[in-house]
Structures are given as C-alpha cells and as structure tokens.
Structure 1
Amino acid sequence: MLRPERMSKISVTGAQSVMSEVIETMHELNLVHITDYDGSWDGFEPGDSLEGADEVSSQLVTVRAIESTLDVDESDVSPAETVDLDDPDSRLEEIRTSVNELDDRRDELRSRLRDIDEQLDQMELFADLGIDLDLLWGYDSLDVIVGEGDPDAIESTLADSDSVEAFDVFSGEGSVAVFAKLDGSLEDELVGVPITTYQVPEESGDPESNVESLERERQQVEAELDTVESELEALKHDSAAFLLALEEQLTIEAQKSEAPLRFATTEHSFIVEGWVPSNRYDELASTLDAEIGDQLEVAELKRASYTNHGGLHEDHDTEDHAEATDGGHADETAVTDGGPATTDDADEQVATDGGRTGDEIVTLDDDPPVIQRNSKITNPFELLVTAVNRPKYSEFDPTIILFLTFPLFFGFMIGDIGYGLLYVLLGYGIWKKVDSEAIANFGAIVAWLGLWTILFGFLYGEVLGLHFLEWYHIEPVFHKGISDTEWAITWLVVAVIVGWVHLNVGYILNFVEEFQLHGAKTAVVEVGSWLLMLNGLWVFIFSKAFSLSKPTFLVRASGQEGMMVLDNGPLGFGFTGFPELVGLIGLGAFVLGIAILIMGPWYEAVEFLVPLAHTLSYTRLTAVLLAKAGMALAVNLLYFGAYTDEEGFHFMHTSTPGHKEEAGKEIIFGGLSNMGSDISVWTLELGLEGALLGIPVYIVGHIVVLAIGGTAAIQAIRLEYFEFFEKFYEGGGKTYESFGHETRYTET
C-alpha cells in the first residue's frame, strides 16, 4: 500500500507488416502505457497515422458537435439499451442534417425573440408617452428625440439656447419626447443633458396597439420555438445511445489509427516502448506471441526500482521474467543515449535484438507511471492525496496513513453519536446517489469520518452534546474537558504526543526515501538531523532536567504536588518524566541535529524550532474539541436550561426550574423548553409554549454546530498537508494511462 504498483519497461519490436495487428492486440489488452518516441534514435522517425485516420477524426468531430448541440450525456442512455452500428454513416448524416436544420431554426427564433423584446421595451416607452407613432417621425422642419431623461433639465437647456426657435417637451412616467425647430441639431443642443435616446420606428398608429401586436407575435414565436425544442429533445432521445456508441467506436478507431505517431519506425520496422505492471508482463508477451508469432519480439527491458524515480536503474531479479518472444532477455544496465541498430533489408526484418546493442539496453528515458495500490476501503482517501498531487513512483503513498489518522483526528474533535450519524447519512447519500467518482469518494470519506465520530461519541458518552450515560449513572470513558480543567490539560498533552508520533512517521518515511535515492550520507544529513532535533527536543521537554522551569502538569519536580498528566492525571499511567540524564542527552541530540543539518543545506538551520512549532500545532485538535463542545453546550443550555448541585452541572430534562429550586438546586438558566404552561411527557416536565417555540432554535442551533464542525475536517487535513506531508511528500507522479479504452456503449 505504501508503494505503487511495480512497473516494467517493455519493448515491442516488429516488421511494418504486422504493426496493425500489434496495435489491435495491444489496444484490446488495454495494458501498455506507451512512451512517446522523442526522435532521439538515429535512423528512426515517428510513424505515420494509419490509413483512414483523417476520416475517423472528422467523423468524431461531427459526432461530438452533434452531442454538444443536443446536450447528450451518459444519463440519457439506459444501461440495457442496445445500439446497431452496422451502417452508421447514413444514420449519422440523417441525424446531422436534422440537427443542423432544427438548430438553425432555433437560432432564428431566438434571434427574433430578442428583436421582439427590444421592440417591446421601446414600444412600451412610446405607449407611456400616449402619442401616436406617426407623430414622432417624418418632419422636415422639426427635430424629434424620444428617450428617457429629465424633462425639466431638457426644457431649461433648450430655453437658454439661442439656436432654438421653438420647442415642446412631452413626458410620461419614465419617458420623454422633445420636438424642436432650431438651427442645427437637437442632439448637439442636448449634449451634457442626461438622456437616453431610442430609434423611433417608422410606423403609424397607437403604440399600445403595436405592443399588443408584438406580444401576439412573441407568443407565436415562443410556441414555434417550443415545438423546435421538443423536436430536438425527441431527436436527442432517439439518437443519444447511437451517438455515444458511435463516439466510443470512433474514439477507439482514432486511438488505433494515431498510435504509430508514438512509435519509432524505419521503412521496414517499428519499435514501441512503454510500461506495464510487472505482474502482467507475461500476459502481454504471451498474448502478442499467440496473436502475431515469430514476426515480433517482446522484451522486458527493466523493472523499475523505487530507489531512483524508476527511470535509470532496475532491479536485477528479472531474469525469470525477461524472456522475449524470440528468446530475448532483459539486460542489467540502462543507457539513455544512442539508439537501436536496425537491419532494413526486407519488410519482414525487425530491429536487431529488440533495441539492444551489445550488452546494453538502449531505451527511451522516462519515469514509470504510477498506479496506487490501495484497498477498496482506503481507496477513497486517494482523493485527498491527489488533491495535493499524485505520488511519484519513488515516493511512499500516504493514502493508508491518511486513512488511519485523518478520521481519528476528526472523530476525536467532534466525538458525538448524533453528529456522527448525521455525517454517516450525509456521506452515504452522496456516495450512493452521485455518479462522479471523485464526489462519490468524498461521500465515502464523510461517512468514514462519521463512523469515527460515533466511536468517540460512545467514549465521550455524548449525543448532540447531551451526556446520555449520566441518565443511567454510568461514567463515560473520556470527558471532553469543557467543564473539567484536568481533562482539558490532558487532551493538550495527548495532542502534543500524537503530533510527536505523527511527525516521526513522516520523517522516517523521508529518511527511507532519501536513503534509497541518494544514500546514507544524504539521508542522515537532510533527514536524520531533523529526527534527532525532533526527538531530542521532546525527550528533553518530557524529562526531569530543569523541571522547576517546566509546567507541573508536564513534569513534576521532587517535592512538588499537583496533577501531572502522564502520572496521576485522568489518563495517567505513573510516568513522572524521563530521568534528568536522559533529558540532557536529548538536549544534546537536539544540538547535534542542528550541527549535522548545517553540514548540508545550512540555511535550513534557521528553522531549528520547526520540531517544536509543528508539534505544538497539533494542539489545535484540543482547541477544536473544546470549541465544538462549547457550542453544543450553548445550544442545549439555551433549550433545556441547566442547574448545579454538589455533583456538578446538569441539564434540566426531567423537571422545571421551580421544582429544582424547591429541591435546593442552583438554576443557571431556565431554558426555553421550561417556559409557559407546565406539562408532563412521560418522565419529562416542561413548559408547553417554550418547548414549541424553542424547537426551531434547538434544530437550527445543532445544524449550525454540525456545519461548523466541518471546520474540524479543515484543521485535521491541515495537519496532514502542512505538518505531515511536508516531511516526506512532494508528489508529481505520472498518471498511468494504458493504451486502450474501457467500452461502455459498445461491445468488442
């Protein structure tokens, strides 16, 4: 799980005469991640597309254009629907013609609707004036402007103008019409006056009658548009399965016909290199041998190790798996320059020895693609890993660790059976109902977080912030610490210890990576130094060295009294601190770590307090725990009310404040549920009016707490991404993209 699928670099070499058969077989296997030929080998050129590639690409563009016009997607096709693709060309042309005609007609009608709407807007303006249309145009000696503006400003401007002989201004509620006899242009006279002008249509009659006529025309256009839309929808329903199946078929044909562009070829032969999962190499070789036979050679060039990004070296345990179809073998040294020698004397000749010269493998230099290996349970958490980046082939895949720690952090912070059930239901609903794999994985993660929230809810004994175990006089395993300082301090120390362990895991993974990639010296200098600093510092902190200067809940000096978390605290187990000598050794290890770090990238030494700061960052777990518990407490206090007695704090579930006061209890808050007329429901006594009015407050309050509880996920994932991943994870791996196609709408 921590390492990706083991990958093997393979070479397939053959004559041009069998290339089509090889492409067909490899595509059906859907197994080889092809390495594109980069033109670096002498005598080899990228191949040419197979015959008919342009026609296939053209048809594929047509199909996708039709699908876009009809808005076709996979939800439009029934899983049981069958498609006949025996004669697709004529049906495709028929669909294309119909779609183009209907789409053109739809565009015309939509354009006409826009024009009508513009005319209606203007005509309503003219109707507001109450002036017939033929009075607004056609004058030889008058200028007319119709629009929206301030009549008073217009009159004032025209009255002050020496060029205007006469004018009149008519206005409606929002419109204005200006008639003027003047030397010059009316528009020039009104420069500087806020007015929006409209073009007057050269029509006659009452504007209101024109409005009615336009509205009738609009209804007719809308009806016709609805008809066209219905015809397109019917066409979509009838042709969706055919189009998706044809697109799939054409996509497959395009992949096959364009595959030679990725091959290294000569006039008579070809070589294709790529990556396959090592445990499936034999399947590839045997299938190609069975389909093509002696005219082809398949070789496993190398098995990529995890020690150098997989690109240049190989493991030397591939002898049993390296037999090519013609008796080829995998050699032990990868060479990244030069090129395979070939013999091109006849069409049936192939590249000599599968692209090997002498004792060396000559191969294209590329890193292997990454196939993450995770179980069905942990697989959804790959979503959180790839949100940062896909792991490199040489890196550890942190998915399993994320699966173990992220829900643990979240459950610890929320810890409530009621909230956990809601998270489970929400996550399950998303996972079950959504088709998108990424969103479905998100739903699975939410459901998993909910399960851990339920688990901690039982440990805390809480349902929606209520301590249900108290009703049965049962003490919960843990307390959140909202009303108990000792528990709150305990959780702070526990969070620090969890951070200490978590960061150690990150540094250890990084140490292994650096050791495998660059050797022991680099691993010790660049990672071992941080391990020394982290553990040395915290061993010193949890030791009795300089104990008088440390908090007593952490380390208690001889003669001191009080609660020490790991000794006599709620979770204490008698640990009073590491001996003073051990603490001083830890401090020395911290200083030694800084000294070793300076031997490498010395500038990193300025971050020598990272082991302290990043570990303390985990105390946010306790902060969110207390904050969420406090919010739930506030909601319950508002609704139920609470009182105190010699045993502590209690919500009022079973009787009213008056009864509690009579019993000598101190009322903190009466609660909404206890206001109004006293009634009894089973063993509960409450106020009818207050309970009814308080229920919406109670529901909304807990919904808010539930939503804000989502910030716990943000805090938990922040610890994973910034504190943990930073220690060992970079990402940037290449996605495994096998040459082939998973069919959904067609059968092979």
Structure 2
Amino acid sequence: MVLKLEPMTKARVICMQADTARVVDALYDFGTIHLTRSRQGTPGTPLQEFREISEELIFLRATEKALGIRLTPEAGNLEPRERLVTESKKVREEIEELKRNEAQLAEYRALMAQLKARIAELKPFENLSVRPTTFSQAKTLSLHYFELKSNRKEFEKDLAKLPIKTLFVTSDRPEYALVAVGTAKKALLLEKTAKHAVELAIPTLTERESFASALAGSTGELERVERDAAKLAGRQAAYSVKNASRIARLRCQLEEYGKKAELPNRFGRTQALEIIEGWVTSRKFKELERKILEVTKNKATVEAHATKKNAPTVLKNPPLVRRFEFMVRFFSLPNQAEYDPTLFISITFPIIFGMIFGDIGYGLLTMALASFLYLKAQKGFWRHLAGMMLLSGFFTTVWGFVFGEFMGVEDIFGYELHAIIHRTGHGVPILMVAALLVGVIHLGFGLAVGAYTNWRHGHKSHAYAKMSWIVLEAAFLLAGINLFAPYIFNSPAIIIALVIASVVALYKFEGVPAVVEIPGLLSNLLSYLRIMALGLSGVILAQIVNQIPFKSSLESIITSATAGDLTGVAIGILPAIFFGVVLILGHAVALGLGLFEAGIQSLRLHYVEFFSKFYHGGGIPFVPLREK
C-alpha cells in the first residue's frame, strides 16, 4: 500500500571473530542494511587493513588538495584492495619526484631572480665601449657613470666650470654620461651632479669581459633557465591533468574499503564472537540471512527481532508520487506509527498551487519551464522538482480556465474568456466561499486520517475527538457561507446546533485543552483565504504589466506603414521595442513571483494547517551501507 511505510526488521548477526572480514564483505555486498551500534559485549575494533588504508587516503586527499583536483567519481565496481594500495604507493613515488622537481624549480626561480637583477645592473652599460678594467686602473683620474634625471643641457651647465671630460653614451631616454675628472675634484663633481643625475655603481666583471658581452651572457643564461623552468613546470601541470581522474578514482575506491574496514567499530565483541545489529526491509531479511550463512559456512546465526522501536523510515511510492517525497523529507520523515503523507501532498499540493496561481498563460509557461528542467536534470532533487512543477503547471492552467485568466488579458487571439468564477468584482464572495470549502475539505481530510490512525492504534477517545473537530469545521464552513453567500445557505439554527454538539464532544473526549484550541481551528480555516488574496494580487499585477503601451505603439507603426509614412514607422520602432522588452520582463517578474508565492503558501498550508491534524514526523532516515 502506498500510504504505508516499508516494513522493517531488526536483524542481529552473531559470527566468529575469524569470520569478521568475510561477514563485512557480505554486508557490504548486500548493501541495503542500516547498521546500528551494538550494545552487546565490548566495542569492536576496525579490520587490520584499516591503518594502511587510512594512511593512503590521507596522502591521496592531500595530493588532491595540492594539485587542485576536485573530481567526485562514483566508486563503481571495486578493484582488489592490494592493487589499489600498490597503485597509491606508486602515485606517492611520482609525487616525491614532483617534489624534487619543485625544489629544482625553486632553485631555477632564485637563479632567474639573480640573473634579472644582474641584467638590470648591466643594462645601463650596454652601449659603453670603455673596458671595465679602465675604471679600476685609472690612477690620476676618477671615472664616474651617471644616469641623467634631466636633459643634457642642464647637466652640462652644472659641470661647465669643472675640468672634466664627458662622454654621453646614448641619445634616448634614459641618457647616460661617463665623466672623467681629476681625483682632487671628485667630491665637487658628485656635489654638482646630485641635482640632475644619479651615479651608477660599476658592475664587477672579469678582465676579459666587456659590458656588452657580460650582458649578452646573462641574457642568454636567463633564457636557458626560463626554458628549463617552463619545461619543469609544464611537466608538473601535465601530471595533474593526466592523473586527476586516476588519483580521484583511487581515493574514491579506497574510501569504500575504508568504510568497510571501520564497520567493526559498530559491532559488539566477546572473547570469540562478533555481534552485528541493524535494520533491513522485511522482504530482504531472507536474502541477508542467506548471504551471511553462505560466507560463514553456516557458522553464524541471523536473528529477526520483533520490535519497531527506533526503526528507520523507508518511503515506498510509485514514480509519479515519488517526486513529492522531498517535501515530506524537508519537513520530517513519518515515524513507524504514521502513514506516509506523500500521496496526499501529490494530490492536494498541485491543486492548491494551481488555485492560487490560476492562469492559463502562466500555467503553460510553468509547464514549459518544468519540461526543460526535467529533460536537463537526469536525477535527484532537480528532476523531482521539475516533475512537481509540471503537475502544478497543469493545474494552474486548469484553474486558469475556471477563472478565465490569461496573463491579465480579456481574450486570447480574439476569443473571449468566460470565467466560471471571477476573481474580481462580484466574484470575490464566491471565491472566498470556494477557498473556505477547499480549507474545510483539506483540513477535514487531515482530521479523518488522524481519526483513523488513532483508531487503528486503539486511541478511540482521540479518534472521536478528531471526528468532533470535523463537525465543528463543517459548522464554521456553513457560518462562512451564511455570512458571505446567504443565498446558498441561511440557517443559523443548524450552525448553532453543530457548534454546541462538537464542543460538548470535544470536552468529553479531550477535556478543556481541546475546547481552548477551537480558535486555532478557526485560524487554520481562515488561512485558506490566502488562496483568494494571493490569486487576486496576481491578477492585479498582470493587469498593471499589461498597462505598458506596447500594443498602442505597435498599432501606431502599423497605421503609419499603411499610410506610407516611413518617418512615423522609423520614429515608432524604438519605443515599440522598448515597451516590448519591458512587457516581457514584467510578465517574467510576475511569473517568478507567482511561482514563489504559490509554492511557498501552498507548502505552508500543508505544513502548518494540514499536517497539524494528523502528522507528527520524527522518523529516522534509513541510511543503507551502500547505495545500489
């Protein structure tokens, strides 16, 4: 049955410690078991290979972080553990080689920095033809090499009265000057040149080197080192690209072995036995028993314990309903004493969503958007969301025909829409009654489910109380109809009788607390008026968007074109394009707001109003050892 949860069985396996590894393999192969920590005996310890696996995993994860690998492959069929460990050790050797390369690369970078500094030092002397030894061999002369900060004339003007010989090396900026002066005038020279020039230190060279040859040698050496460094860096980058999937696969598969190796942590242990406890679906218990007995050669016992305490929850729904399970999971999974409300939500959520949004055009757009998302998302949350939106869009379209709404316009291609229920004007009272009727049915159904659940568990007084709430709810509905649409129902005596009968019944079965909660039921019921209010606001927003004068701009262009007024056509094109873009954006905003409001408010009516009548949740998620 769709409403019932998957029946669960608590299994206990008792085996010899010598068979632990084989039993772990069997459990892992079985997969669909929710292991719990056994409280029998002393806590178990991991398998022997756990330490080795952990060391390799630490290394592989660090390697992924260092190389920037962010792949998450599926484990797939596991390769033999020994082969994976061997390959991981091989990767370790390769990484060690890369580390040595990194050290070499650091040396290259330091050498390149030195060579660049040397080249920067030699560059100003590139065109100086004087031998470097001349600077050190001059006895009576002091040779100085300057970089000019200003133009040559100002420099020459400052040195005009000094007995010097000047050689200007370059004519472009920066400009350099070699100045020879008597040693006695050295201090005066430096004083005079301080304003317009900077003295450069003479690079240290060998006797056979010239400035040009030294510069050429350093430049050539830098180019060679840069080539070697680039080759080494390229080798490291290539390794990361080439081996990313390999390293990620190793890590992923060893993680699976790591999970297997640490499973005995959850076992109980005696001197000779291992005790394993967990939950399986009842229909798979025999399969688990067969696997355990097979690997232990019948030297184990597999017991089924008749208890539902702390049993995990497994939902069991057909594909069409399964797409709504994420809504139940988001709230809370049902416990073992409850029904799975997913089927209820799969029916009522799209209907209420559609009633709130209620528009043919927006409904069709929602279905188109959902279809696109459904085709793009292969599985998981987004595919379920798309399926839910597709059904909600369908009911939005259906309610759009009921309300005669199409994106705020009164006709579709000349065909006038005829509303069954108007959401504006004289139709508002009827819409209010319709919203209250939906609330009564929705809450009444929740109360009926709650009554049946309590009856099934022997809580008959609570079941009678739930039925009393249904009677009171019916009285509230009749009161609303009598107030807003007296031409449909107008009998206050019946309403008063129902209220008195239900209040007396509530007091009898649940006492004063139930009577105090009566305003809460009225509040729950009035919450469904948001269906009317939000629908009305959506209509007004669409009508405001349609006030954008795109249609009149288009008609003006057509009129000008018909009259042969090309100037009028040219003038009208830009406004028409602008208004068209604004119109599309306006409806896009209206669609987005409608989807958000209808989704949130419909979900709220289920979580706060509907669920409060029968559903508590608190179920424990079923966490299988391995997904199959």
TM-score by length of 1: 0.60
Give 1:736 shift. 0.9
Alpha-carbon displacement from aligned partner over 1:627-679 (angstroms, at most 9, x marks no partner): 111111222233367xxxxxxxxxxxxxxxxxxxxxxxxxxxxx444456725
Aligned partner (choices 431, 439, 442) of residue 502 of structure 1: 442
Please state if 1:534 is matched with 2:473.
yes
Distance 1:513 1:222 in 2: 79
Query: Which of the residues 366, 372, 397 maps onto 2:315?
Result: 372
Q: Distance in 1 between matches of 2:577 and 2:542?
A: 20
CA displacement at 1:726 relative to structure 2: 2.3
Per the alignment, residue 6 of structure 1 pairs with 7
Which of the residues 620, 623, 626 maps onto 1:734? 620
Query: Which residue of structure 2 aligns with residue 703 of structure 1?
Result: 588
Matched, 1:587 2:468: no
Aligned residues between the structures: 506
CA distance in 2, matches of 1:233, 1:430: 37
1:555 to 483, 486, 508: 486
Instruction: Kindly indicate whether residue 54 of structure 2 is the aligned counterpart of residue 57 of structure 1.
Output: yes
Look up the match of 1:678: 559
Residues 412-561 of structure 1 aligned to structure 2 (within 5 Å): 412-434=355-377, 437-469=380-412, 471-472=414-415, 476=418, 478-482=420-424, 485-517=425-457, 519-524=459-464, 527-528=466-467, 530-539=469-478, 541-542=480-481, 550-551=482-483, 553-556=484-487
Give 2:217's aligned residue. Answer: none
Correspondence for 1:33 = 34
Partners in 2 of 1:637 and 1:503 — Cα distance? 40
Structure 1 gaps, min length 5: 112-202, 207-220, 305-309, 312-366, 543-549, 557-566, 568-575, 642-670, 743-748
Question: Following TM superposition, by how much is the alpha carbon of 1:78 offset from its aligned partner in structure 2, in angstroms?
Answer: 13
Partner SS state of residue 452, structure 2: helix
Tell me the residue number matched to 2:290: 286
Cα distance in structure 2, aligned partners of 1:457 and 1:428? 19
Q: How large is the RMSD of aligned CA atoms in angstroms?
A: 3.9
Per-residue deviation, 1:462: 4.3
2:339 is the alignment partner of 1:396: yes
Matched, 1:624 2:561: no
> What is the CA deviation profile of residues 664-721 of structure 1, one whole-angstrom value per residue up to 9, with x for unaligned ones?
xxxxxxx44445672579xxxx984453342122112111211221222222112112
**d(CA) in 2 for partners of 1:371, 1:734:** 9
Matched to 1:554, the amino acid is: A
Percent identical? 25
Q: TM-score, normalised by structure 2?
A: 0.71
Tell me how far 1:455 sits from its aligned partner.
3.1
1:707, 1:503 → 2: CA distance?
A: 29
Q: Distance in 2 between matches of 1:555 and 1:500?
A: 18
Which residue in the other structure is 1:275 paired with? 279
Q: CA deviation at 1:231?
A: 5.5
Which residue is equivalent to 1:155?
A: none
Please tell me whether residue 23 in structure 1 is matched to residue 19 in structure 2.
no
SS in structure 1 at match of 2:530: helix
SS in 1 for 2:274: strand
Q: Distance in 2 between matches of 1:425 and 1:224?
A: 57
1:612, 1:699 → 2: CA distance?
Answer: 41
Classify the secondary structure of the residue corresponding to 2:546.
helix
Deviations 1:376-418 (A, max 9, x none): 2222222222222222232222222222122212222223333
**Counterpart AA for 1:90:** K
Amino acid at match of 2:495: G
Distance 1:46 1:103, change over 3 A: farther
Larger helix proportion of the pair? 2
Shift in CA distance, 470/275, structure 1 to aligned 2, threshold 3 Å: same
What is the distance in 2 between the residues matched to 1:596 and 1:108?
90
The 5-angstrom pairing of residues 250-265 of structure 1 reads: 250-265=254-269
> C-alpha distance in 2, partners of 1:56/1:72?
20
Bigger RCO (CA 8 Å, 6+ sep):
2
Give the drift of 1:603. Answer: 4.5
Judged with a 3 Å threshold, the aligned counterparts in structure 2 of structure 1 residues 226 and 723 are, in CA distance, closer, same or farther, namely: farther
Asked if structure 1 preserves the Cα contact closer than 8 Å seen for 2:360 and 2:398, the reply is: yes
> What is the CA distance between 1:501 and its match in structure 2?
1.0
Q: Map 1:636-675 onto structure 2 (within 5 A).
A: 636-639=546-549, 671-675=552-556
Distance in 2 between residues matched to 1:395 and 1:223, nearest whole Å: 72
Q: Deviations over 1:275-319 (max 9, x none)?
A: 1111111221223333333211212222x5xxxxx21xxxxxxxx
Letter in 1 for 2:577: L
Over 3 Å counting, the alpha-carbon distance change for 1:520 and 1:88 in structure 2 is same
SS at match of 2:32: coil
Determine helix, strand or coil for the equivalent of 1:476.
coil
Q: 1:691 aligns with which of 576, 579, 582?
A: 576
Amino acid at match of 2:593: I
SS in 2 for 1:275: strand
Quick one: distance in 2 between partners of 1:409 and 1:101? 66
CA distance in 2, matches of 1:106, 1:711: 59
> How far, CA to CA, are the matches of 1:443 and 1:274 in structure 2?
35
Q: How many angstroms apart in 1 are the aligned matches of 2:74 and 2:294?
A: 37
- Equivalents in 1 of 2:232, 2:389: separation in Å? 44
What letter matches 2:430 in structure 1?
A: T
* Amino acid paired to 1:739: L
Aligned partners of 1:110, 1:508: CA distance in 2, in Å? 78
- 1:633 to 1:222, Cα distance in 2 relative to 1, 3 A: farther
Q: CA–CA distance in 1 between the matches of 2:344 and 2:109?
A: 56
Indicate whether 1:608 and 2:518 are aligned.
Answer: yes
What is the SS of the residue equivalent to 2:547? helix
SS for the counterpart of 2:501 is helix
How far has the Cα of 1:67 moved from its partner? 2.5
Does the aligned pair in 1 maintain the 2:325–2:342 contact within 8 Å?
Answer: yes
